[in-house]
Amino acid sequence: MNKPPSRKQPKPTKDNLQSVTIDVAAVEVPELTTEEESDRLHLERKVERAFYEAGKALMELRDRRLYRSTHRTFEEYCKDRFGYSRDAAYLKISATEVYENIQKFLPTIGRQIPMPTNERQLRPLAKAELEPNKQASVWEQAVDQAGGKVPSGRVVKDVVDRIREKTKVPNPYRVGEICILQPKDNPELRGKSGCWGVVTHVGEYSCTIQCGDGDYTAKVEHLKSLELLEEDCKFMEQLCMRLRRLYEVGGRDPAVDWLLQGLGKQAKPYLSSLQAKLLGAVEREYKIEWRTQK
């Protein structure tokens, strides 16, 4: 039986390019197995929690002081090893703590609420320093505002701002007041518990506190006033300046730091006779002149 002559497809040219048809065989994509579905979910969760794992790792490095063989401080270590500034490192740690609070207090009965997937979504909550259960409530409201999806940091900030405006309490502190720092859960004030300082700026929710070794920003809930008389506040302010000038001395003897740290935590508007002599001796040693201002 003679076979019909085969018909060759014309070679594509500029003139017949639009008339050429190409048969493409359909490729069947195999469905994921149950094991593959489980692996995918596991890996997706690891990607989503990458920022959380980073924060947990930084927290452990800090708390166990695993940087001490190469660096004097955690901040120096983060800058050299990861290129993180002090604020960036502590924001990652704070975001991790917020994530854990949301995970603990988020009501999930009867509904599936998505969890945060990156640090930027949690920055407004970390900075606001709300109570753990309030953090979970804010996240839930932000998810609702985002239509049930993971909200952006801007959406979370909108919810935080609304809540803070409703519960706004006037800042009770004033410039020149002497306060004690109470870090509580604020990692940026770590190691400053019990230190006193002078209020130099009053904001809506925080104050700038001038201590002997530097300036710090503290929320109102992290401060406690000594409720001193005006003349006592003036004495403490002058003492703070004396300590600061000594802190600025480079290559000072370690014994000086011992004296400065002790005075920096003695929240009393006076010096004992011995303390006054020691402080005066150190100032003379480093040729620092000081006259009591009236």
SS3 assignment, position 57: helix
The last residue of one of the domains, among 141, 166, 191, is 166
Residues 66 and 146 in one domain: yes
**For residue 99, is it within any domain?**
yes
Q: What is the pLDDT of residues 98-125, one digit of tens each?
A: 999 998 988 766 678 888 988 899 988 8
pLDDT attached to residue 283 = 95
Q: Of the ranges 39-43, 54-58, 266-270, which one carries the lowest mean pLDDT score?
A: 39-43
Residues 154 and 203 in one domain: no
Please check whether residues 158 and 178 belong to one and the same domain: no
What pLDDT score was predicted for residue 127? 80
Flag the least confident range among 84-88, 139-143, 157-161, 257-261.
84-88
pLDDT value of position 291: 67
pLDDT for the residue numbered 22: 58
Asked whether residue 141 falls in the same domain as residue 203, the answer is no
67 within a domain of the structure (yes/no): yes
Asked whether residue 211 carries a pLDDT value surpassing 90, the answer given is yes
* Mean pLDDT within 2-26: 56
Locus of tokens 């940026």: 188
The fraction of the chain above a pLDDT of 90, given in percent, is 43
The answer to whether residues 193 and 234 belong to one domain is: yes
Residues 141 and 191 both lie in one domain: no
Tell me the per-residue pLDDT of 118-147, one tens digit each, with 9 for 90 and over: 889 998 888 887 888 899 999 999 999 999
Cα 149–chain centre separation: 24
Question: Do both 112 and 189 map to the same domain?
Answer: no
Please name every residue paired with 242 in a beta bridge, in sequence order, or none if there are none: none
**pLDDT grade for 4, boundaries at 50, 70 and 90:** low
Q: What's the rounded Cα separation, in Å, for the pair 174 and 145? A: 38
Q: Please check whether residue 23 lies inside any domain of the structure.
A: no
Residue 240 vs residues 178, 255, 284: alpha-carbon distances, Å: 10, 18, 17
Based on the fold, state whether residues 103 and 153 are members of the same structural domain: yes
The answer to whether the CB of 192 falls within 8 A of the CB of 183 is: yes
The pLDDT confidence band at residue 270, using thresholds 50, 70 and 90, is very high
pLDDT of residue 28: 73
Do 294 and 175 have their domain in common? yes
What's the domain count of the chain? 2
pLDDT of residue 48: 63
Give residue 38's pLDDT band: very low, low, confident or very high (50, 70, 90).
confident
Q: At what angle do helices 86-105 and 74-82 cross, to 10 degrees?
A: 100
Q: Residue 113's pLDDT is what?
A: 87
Residue 262 pLDDT grade (very low, low, confident, very high; cuts 50, 70, 90): very high
Domain boundary among 166, 187, 216: 166
Give 190's DSSP letter.
T
For residue 108, the model assigns a pLDDT of: 67
CATH value at residue 193? 2.30.30.30
Do 101 and 114 belong together in one domain? yes
Higher-pLDDT residue of 91, 242 = 242
Q: What is the mean pLDDT of residues 253-276?
A: 93
**Inside any domain, residue 98:** yes
Same domain, 47 and 152: yes
In a domain, 3, yes or no: no
CA distance 202 to 196: 16
Q: Where are the alpha helices (DSSP H) in 193-294?
A: 230-247, 254-264, 273-285
Q: Which of 149, 166, 183 is the last residue of a domain?
A: 166
In this predicted structure, which of 43-52, 134-143, 277-286 has the lowest mean pLDDT?
43-52
Confidence band for 40, pLDDT divided at 50, 70 and 90: confident
What pLDDT score does 9 carry? 54
Q: Do residue 154 and residue 186 come from a single domain? A: no
> For 35-44, 50-59, 65-74, 113-122, which range has the lowest pLDDT when averaged over its residues?
35-44
Q: Is residue 282 part of a domain?
A: yes
Q: What is the mean pLDDT of the chain?
A: 85
pTM equals 0.51
Expressed as residue numbers, the domain containing 237 is 171-294
If you compute the radius of gyration of the chain from its CA atoms, what whole number of angstroms results?
31
User: In this predicted model, which residue has the larger pLDDT, 198 or 76?
Assistant: 198
